[in-house]
Amino acid sequence: MIELGQHWEFIAAAYGGAFAIVAALTGWTIVSAIRAKARVSELEAARAARKLQ
Amino acid sequence: MADTSPNAHPGWFTRIAHPGMFMGWSRHLVLPLVAITVIAFGVGLYFSFLASPADYQMGDTVRMMYVHVPTAWLSQFCYAVMFASAIGTLVWRHPMADVSQKAAAPLGAAFTALALFTGSMWGRPTWGTFWEWDGRMTSTLVLLFIYLGIIALWRAFDDQLKAARIVAVVTLVGAVNIPVIKFSVDWWQTLHQPASVFRMDGPTVDGSILVPLLVMTLAFSLLFMTLHLVRMRTEITRRRIRSLELAQARAAGGAA
Per-residue confidence (pLDDT) for residue B8, from 0 to 100: 57
Contact list, A6 vs chain B (CB under 8 Å): 59
Quote the Cα angle for B73-B74-B79, to 5°: 110
Question: Biggest alpha carbon distance in chain B?
Answer: 77
DSSP assignment of A8-32 equals HHHHHHHHHHHHHHHHHHHHHHHHH
- Kindly give, in sequence order, each residue whose CB lies less than 8 Å from that of residue B101, ignoring residues fewer than 6 positions away: B82, B85, B86, B89, B164, B167, B168, B171
Above pLDDT 90, what percent of chain A?
A: 68
- Please tell me which of the candidates B125, B241, B244 has its beta carbon nearest to residue A7: B125
Query: Domain spans of chain B?
Result: 28-193+206-250
- CB-based contacts of B230, cutoff 8 Å, min separation 6: A29, A30, A33, B30
Structure confidence at residue A14 (pLDDT): 93
Nearest to A29 among B49, B230, B247 (CB): B230
For residue A24, give how far its alpha carbon lies from the nearest alpha carbon of chain B (Å): 10
Mean residue pLDDT of chain B comes to 88
Cβ contact B234–A33 (<8 Å)? yes
Q: Mean pLDDT across the stretch B220-236?
A: 97
pLDDT at residue B46, as a whole number: 94
**Which chain B residue has its CA at the smallest distance from A37's CA?**
B237
Phi, psi values for residue B59, rounded to 5°: 70, -145
CB-based contact B230 A30, cutoff 8 Å: yes
Question: When comparing pLDDT for B183 and A18, which is higher?
Answer: A18
Mean pLDDT for all residues in chain A? 90
Pick among A1, A6, A22, A26 to test the B interface (most B CBs inside 10 A): A22
Distance to chain B for A15, nearest Cα, Å: 7
